[in-house]
Structure 1
Amino acid sequence: MQIEVKNIEDLKNVVECIKNSGKNIIILSGTLGSGKTTLVKEFVKLLGLSDEVTSPTFAIQNVYGEKVYHYDLYNKGVDEFLALGMLEELEKEGYHFLEWGEGLEDILKLYGIDYLLIKITLEGDKRIFECQN
C-alpha cells in the first residue's frame, strides 16, 4: 500500500497502516531526512504518549512509555545490534521501529519473526510511504 504524505496530518494514514498490519516490528527504510523519526514522533503522539521523541542515532535505542521502542542502526550497524543482544529486545510487547534496519530482514526471516517494511521516498514536496507486509 502506498500513502502520499504532504504534511504532518497525512502521517495519521501511515500510523493506521501500521496499526492495521497487526505487526509490531517496523523497519523504516529511507534516506537521511526522509521522515523516519518524524513518523515515530507522530505514532507516539497518536498513542497519547507525551514522551519527547528523538532519533536514537548514538544511543541505538529509545523507549517511549512502555509501548514504543525506537532503534537506529545507522552508526552501529546490524552486526553491533546483534552483538549487543538487541534482537532479544524485539520480543518485548509493544511497537518496535527500526531505522536503517534493512540489514535485519534476512535474520528476522530466519527466526520466523514477522515485520512490516515501510519504504519512504521523496517526490518533490511530498513523501511516499510504502507499507510492505
Structure 2
Amino acid sequence: MKEKIFEAGLNELEDICKFLLEILKTEGIVLLEGDLAAGKTTLVKAFARYLHLDVSKVSSPTFSIMNEYEDKIRHYDIYQKGINGFLQSGLLETLGEKDRYYFIEWADEEFETMLKNMGFDYVKVVIETKEKKRIYKVNVDAYTQSR
C-alpha cells in the first residue's frame, strides 16, 4: 500500500495539497473519509486556495450533493443520499471530465469498488482527529494501480 501520513492543524494543509497535486497533476478523484467535523471540507478549501481559486464559496455540499468551484473543482457529499442517490442523480457521469479535481466525501467501500470496476483511479484521504491536530492518511494505491 502506498500511503503518506501527515499531521497538521486545520490551517496547516499546504503540504498535503502539494502532495495531492504531485500525484494528480491536472485532474483526479479524491475520496475523503473522516468523522463529522474531521476537516473534509476544510481540506477541499485548502486545495482550492492552493490552486489560487476563490475560496469564499467553498462549503460542505451536504444538502446540495455537489458544489462546483470555478469550473476546476467538483465537491460531492454522498452522506445523505448514499451511492444510490449519487447514481440516480447522474453525477457519476461527471467524474470523467478532464482537467478537474473531484473531492467526494463519505465514499464507502462499495463506492470504491464501483470506481475500481469502472476503471477510475482515485486517491483516498482518511482524516483522524488527534487533539487540535489531524492525521491525514493519503493512500495513493488505487490511483497508481493503472498508471
TM-score computed with the length of structure 2 as normaliser: 0.86
1:47 aligns with 2:38: no
Matched residue, 2:37: 33
1:74 aligns with 2:83: no
1:115 aligns with 2:118: no
Matched residue, 2:6: 3
Conserved? CA contact 2:10–2:39, under 8 Å: no
* Whole-angstrom distance in 2 between the partners of 1:31 and 1:79: 21
5+ unaligned residues in a row in structure 1: which ranges?
none
Q: Spell out structure 1 runs of 4+ moving beyond 3 A.
A: none
Q: 3-state DSSP class of the match of 1:90?
A: helix
Percentage of identical aligned residues: 39
> Which residue identity is paired with 2:128?
T
* Whole-angstrom distance in 1 between the partners of 2:79 and 2:129: 19
Aligned residues: 132
Once the two structures are TM-superposed, the CA of residue 6 in structure 1 deviates from its matched residue by 2.3
* Match of residue 97, structure 1, among 97, 103, 111: 103
Conserved? CA contact 2:10–2:42, under 8 Å: no
